[in-house]
A and B are shown apart, each in its own frame.
Chain A
Amino acid sequence: MATLESPPLGTPSAMRSAFGTVLSALILLLIGVLAFSIRLFSVIKYESVIHEFDPYFNYRVTQFLSKNGIYEFWNWFDDRTWYPLGRVIGGTVYPGLTLTAGTIWWALNAINIPLSVETVCVFTAPVFSAFASWATYLLTKEVKGSGAGLAAAALLAMVPSYISRSVAGSYDNEAVAIFALIFTFYLYIKTLNTGSLFYATLNAIAYFYMVCSWGGYTFIINLIPMHVLLCIVTGRYSPRLYIAYAPLVVLGTLLAALVPVVGFNAVLTSEHFASFLVFIIIHVVALVYYIKGILSPKMFKVAVTLVVSIGLVVCLIVVAVLVALVASSPTGGWSGRSLSLLDPTYASKYIPIIASVSEHQPPTWPSYFMDINVLAFLVPAGIIACFSPLSDASSFVVLYIVMSVYFSGVMVRLMLVLAPAACIMSGIALSQAFDVFTASIKYQLGRSANSKDDAEDNTSTNNAPKDDSSSGKTDKGEEVAKERPSKKGKKKEREPADKPSVKSKILKKRALVLPLEASIVALLLLIMLGAFYVIHCVWAAAEAYSAPSIVLTSQSRDGLHVFDDFRESYAWLSHNTDVDDKVASWWDYGYQTTAMANRTVIVDNNTWNNTHIATVGTAMSSPEKAAWEIFNSLDVKYVLVVFGGLIGYPSDDINKFLWMVRIGGGVFPHIKEADYLRDGNYRIDSEATPTMLNCLMYKLSYYRFVETDGKGYDRVRRTEIGKKNFKLTHFEEVFTSHHWMVRIYKLKPQKNRIRGRAKKLKLKTSSGLDSKPAKKNPWI
């Protein structure tokens, strides 16, 4: 009952193994703390607040969930957005994030820790990045041992690409989805390595959680089949592969169909077809292996010809059905965003609303360096390490990195999927490099110290001088660099594993040995590389990715200046307008308006209805009267525009205006982009076209702007505005924030009819009245 293996406990190797376990547990804990705390820059530098746009929607949904419960949440029809259409939130949202945060909130409150929903939402992302780095450890450990695992976990804890999406306050789907992604991959590899049905079931559940969390789950359901196919093609089929794959497809698809937003898409859309195809193939292969086992080789040949001919026919039929299905749906069964993955130019050609979002653009080379930094150089080494020797697991991570590199090249947002793969690869590379260098240092030192000793003594003394001799120096250096304990732990981990084989592999080891000086220099260079990575990550976390974007700051001579105009105007809307008033703005500000101002909006960041967005775009690009009519027909009472010309805030509505024109023109052809451009140039100065100078967006942005400095100098466009003094006839200014960043206008009520016109109308109606009784009379 008590200690199982009590005899080995006393031996030094068992002690060291136990020590190694405790040490790696401690390191993992520290990595978790690091992952959490590096994401707190936003809270410390700014405040504990929800960031950007989408997180505000998620926050609002979580508030609703915590207030009304899960059943109300599934049935929630939100009438505060997409007026007058509304939106069924329960059926159109990936509920994973919301349910996770809601559960955390509920659990904390159940034990009387009264954290607010907002606090829970703000800190969900950092907590899950700690989980994600632990999941990375597990995954890499399955691939290349725990040393590589610790290195990869440490790298992932602070990779800038992931930090950009998971700082405290960045309450978005990706925050939990990356954890779910890595954990699903880990369970897949674990099942592949063990062949345990238990892990296969867990894998399906993890996949379910991923489906709940993020639309990126299609990456999993395409990557895993590809890997299975790769294994089959390269002759690596095994029953373990079958266990890892078949339950995942069956259970995973069933579970995925439970998520309302996916529903029957799990079997109907072509993103999922690859998995079914591979599902068929793996069964065919399994059958072939089975038959091969029970038949004699001669019979088997006969059977093969039979099966191949039948199988070919079946496959042809299936392919034909698939093609027919895909062809029958308008976008060929692929949703726009997925299509733009395969054909990078698709979105910008056909769907301006997707192309208008900056995170859907292809990334530039500097952004690779910014987001994954030195990992970009370590990845090739990691790939090479994965090929010696190639296993099922290592072939999976190779496939993962290849696919994610491709996808990240298509859409900058998917850099996030690349980051874990790059971390795993770099972790492997670092770990292998350290292995080689430290082993050769050890060998060289051992040889010089007691060359006359035999091999057995060699191994035992190796560890003793290591602590005080020259290699101990590098160890100290690692500890000083404080992010390096991972490598130390790795070494401790690997040594016991290597030791028994030292004697047997002594020849092989000698072949790998490098000169002492070269090893030391290489080690130092690697440590420097790591230090550079750490510095870069901390800088990125502190400076680049922590701004909440609803509060802007600028450093001036007399200290920090805060631009809090967005919240100023949302607070104004929320307290000084009627609760049922409708606010029109460009869709970027939809989520924030509903969440912070609690007012009904016409369009929001969930861009599901292109026509509706085009209507708002058309109104913004129309002259005042036409715009007033469009807005009035939508019951709009207030129009909100964002204007950066006074303080030089570049992402304002004037800079986004061409997208409004394009999206509006896409549905309403009387809006033509060429009318807003002078010789193909977009300008707002005196050279601008009359259409531009008379459109609503121009007028609402620059109304009375000239009175601020007498010239109307726009600090974003760096020019004087074209039309300076004009009056508004159908709109009136009701609020402008302190730095003019948000301007809110109210639609004027319809004017009283002029007497002359009224008389005419009266005459008309009276004549109509006269005629009516005349017609009716015969009936009386």
Chain B
Amino acid sequence: MASRIWIFAVVVAVFLSLSSFSSAQDLQIVNAERRIDLSSHIVKAFLTLKVENIGKDPAADMLLAFPPTQIKNLAMVQALAVTGKKKKKTYLPLDVKPSEHPDAPNDAGYFLVSFASPLGPGETVTLEVLYILTHSLEPFPVEITQSESQLVYYRDSAVILSPYHIKQQTTFFKTPSTRVESFTSIEPANRAGKEIKYGPYEDRAPHSYAPVIVHFENNSPFAVVEELVREIEISHWGSLQITENYRLTHGGARHKGVFSRVEYQSRRSISGSSSFNALLAVLPPRVNSVYYRDDIGNISTSHLRTGFKKSELEFEPRYPLFGGWKATFVIGYRVPLEDYLFEAPDGRRYLNFTFGCPLVETIVNKLTLKVVLPEGSKDPSAVLPFTVNQDLQVKYSYLDIVGRTVVVLQKDNVVPTHNVPFQVYYTFKPIYMLAEPLMLVSAFFSVFVASLAYVHIDLNIVKK
């Protein structure tokens, strides 16, 4: 009951604050359709918007609004402009930037989508927006035993939060199974199989908000990497050595009480259905020297399948992961240098590698990517399609004297969609490759010269 009052209060507050917030009111959304995929713990929302300029001036951009509960879990927003009809559809990626509006009602967050060409008065454009939410499924009950399956809450609004007037809109929630405990009903709302449909709703004012809760079963693996440190070491002798340190946890409902191995082994279908014990990492093709271990040694449960397009490493943690259980491990591998290191037209070299986490269907809370450049490299710079924190460090490896420059890229809340190529540019003179061999040669040489001298020099004070 209390929650109802709270929801009502929010709605009222939203409406009241509307007048104080004046955005570009000369756009309106003719038709909006939202499909939210709840089948894994990464929530994907596909938004199709038909936007019309009803003002007098051309509009260069539009805003997408997100409630404050979602904005902090928002991993990624992508927008595409659709042109053409039916079969001749073409998609044009649009620029999306977070945008600050301090006077936004109820701390709503905004993203600014820039149109490919300004939208003239009376014109319409169709946008496809994809946004991904992490940590948005809240387990309820919070703790489950081994034999229970996992139920989660998903909270959202039945109507799309938008600073524009929406003429007509529909929202679909897709659940992983037909088992739905409950969902908030805002007429017209109905459920068919795995799909819950809200709407169509007509003529909703800007910043309308109608909270809904969907309570459903979700037993997909909630694999969350709390921290991932990937180190890519470039050796100009012909290989890239990649070392990935994982701190994995099961982010679903916490495990309660006993863990019985006999039940887990004999009644696999109903016992520990929300737990997982197999993970899949997609590694580059031509990968070699793969290892999988942790602090206390090798973990002997893994299979590697190499292919032309990609390699797949199927592996198991030491023990099955139930809700709240943690595990750490390291995956390391080597790939040939010529596949990833190129020379830019201006003489600089650049590494072209994939950002993100190789594990499929996994959220990474904190990803640190370190690119260790060879000793003697200068002027490093990284090019990425999204913003990350950048830093420079120095690392000393085998027989280094001046140390190697390390480009550190750090990003929070990383999802598989972030697995896109990035580049690190640097300058390097090949003569530095010879520094360490020459050092070794001279060290051995001096040892032999010293022993030669020792044998031939008479150190006795008195002649015998």
Contact = CB atoms under 8 A, between A and B. Distances in A.
Contacts of B399: 111-113
Contacts of B261: 733, 735-738, 740
A567 B296 contact: yes
B258 interface: yes
B435 to A, nearest CB: 12
A49 interface: yes
Interface string B311-333: 00000001100001111100000
A271 interface: no
B88 interface: no
A713 interface: no
B398 A707 contact: no
Nearest to A707: B262
A569 B397 CA distance: 34
B254 to A, nearest CB: 11
Contact of B260 (A112, A550, A567, A736): A736
A564 B266 CA distance: 20
Given A112-B399, A114-B396, A575 B260 contact: no
A564 B296 contact: no
A49 B456 contact: no
A735 B458 CA distance: 71
Nearest to A706: B262
A205 to B, nearest CB: 22
A747 to B, nearest CB: 13
Contacts of A740: 261
A734 interface: yes
A734 B456 contact: no
A49 B298 contact: yes
Contact of B319 (A551, A596, A735): A735
Contact of A734 (B259, B262, B265, B300): B259
Interface string B177-210: 0000000000000000000000000000000000
A3 interface: yes
Interface in A159-212: none
B400 A732 contact: no
Interface string A538-572: 00000000000011000000000010100111111
Contact of B400 (A112, A569, A596): A112
B37 interface: no
A576 B326 contact: yes
B398 A113 contact: yes
A704 B259 contact: no
Interface residues of A, number: 34
B294 interface: yes
Given A49-B297, A112-B400, A736-B259, A576 B325 contact: yes
B262 A575 contact: no
Contact of B297 (A567, A733, A735): A567
A112 B319 contact: no
A569 B319 CA distance: 8
Contact of B262 (A113, A572, A708): A708
A2 interface: yes
B457 interface: yes
A570 B296 contact: yes
B257 interface: yes
Contacts of A114: 396-398
Binding site of B, secondary structure by majority: helix, strand, loop or mixed?
A: loop
B296 A596 contact: yes
Nearest to B326: A575
A47 B326 contact: no
Contacts of A734: 258-259
B318 A732 contact: no
Most chain-A CB neighbours within 10 Å: which of B257, B296, B397? B296
Given A571-B318, A737-B319, A112 B398 contact: yes
Interface in B395-437: 396-401
A559 to B, nearest CB: 12
Interface string B273-314: 000000000000000000000111111100000000000000
B325 A1 contact: no
Interface string B55-97: 0000000000000000000000000000000000000000000
Contacts of A49: 296-298
A596 B262 CA distance: 25
A564 B260 contact: no
A330 to B, nearest CB: 41
A114 B257 CA distance: 43
Nearest to B266: A707
Interface string B447-464: 000000000111000000
Contacts of A571: 294, 296, 318-319, 327
A306 interface: no
B295 to A, nearest CB: 8
A372 to B, nearest CB: 32
Contact of B258 (A707, A733, A738): A733
A732 B258 contact: yes
A4 interface: yes
Given A47-B298, A707-B266, A734-B258, A3 B456 contact: yes
Interface string B359-401: 0000000000000000000000000000000000000111111
Interface string A706-743: 01100000000000000000000000111111101000
Most chain-B CB neighbours within 10 Å: which of A2, A49, A572, A575? A575
A737 B261 CA distance: 7
Nearest to A113: B398
Given A736-B259, A736-B261, A572 B396 contact: no
Contacts of A707: 262, 266
Most chain-B CB neighbours within 10 Å: which of A2, A567, A707? A567
A732 B397 contact: no
B296 A4 contact: no
Contacts of B319: 568-569, 571-572, 735, 737-738
A646 to B, nearest CB: 10
Given A1-B458, A47-B297, A567 B398 contact: no
B398 A733 contact: no
A647 to B, nearest CB: 13
B304 to A, nearest CB: 16
Contacts of A562: 300
Nearest to B395: A114
B182 to A, nearest CB: 32
Contacts of B295: 596
Nearest to B316: A738
B456 A567 contact: no
A773 B325 CA distance: 53
A518 to B, nearest CB: 44
Contacts of B456: 1-3
Given A113-B398, A575-B328, A576-B325, A704 B300 contact: no
Interface string A94-135: 000000000000000001111000000000000000000000
Given A572-B318, A734-B258, A564 B458 contact: no
B259 A735 contact: yes
B396 A564 contact: no
B318 A704 contact: no
A57 to B, nearest CB: 14
Nearest to A562: B300
B243 to A, nearest CB: 12
Contacts of B328: 575
A564 B318 contact: yes
Contacts of B324: 576
Complex A-B, nearest 8 residue pairs according to Cβ-Cβ distance, in ascending order:
A736-B261, A575-B326, A49-B297, A562-B300, A568-B318, A571-B318, A47-B298, A112-B396
Interface of B: 257-262, 265-266, 294-300, 318-319, 324-328, 396-401, 456-458
23 contacts: A1-B456, A2-B456, A47-B297, A112-B396, A112-B397, A112-B398, A112-B399, A114-B397, A564-B300, A567-B296, A571-B294, A571-B318, A572-B318, A576-B326, A596-B295, A704-B262, A732-B257, A733-B261, A734-B258, A736-B260, A736-B262, A737-B319, A740-B261
Given A567-B296, A575-B326, A708-B265, 5 more contacts: A1-B457, A113-B398, A576-B324, A733-B260, A737-B319
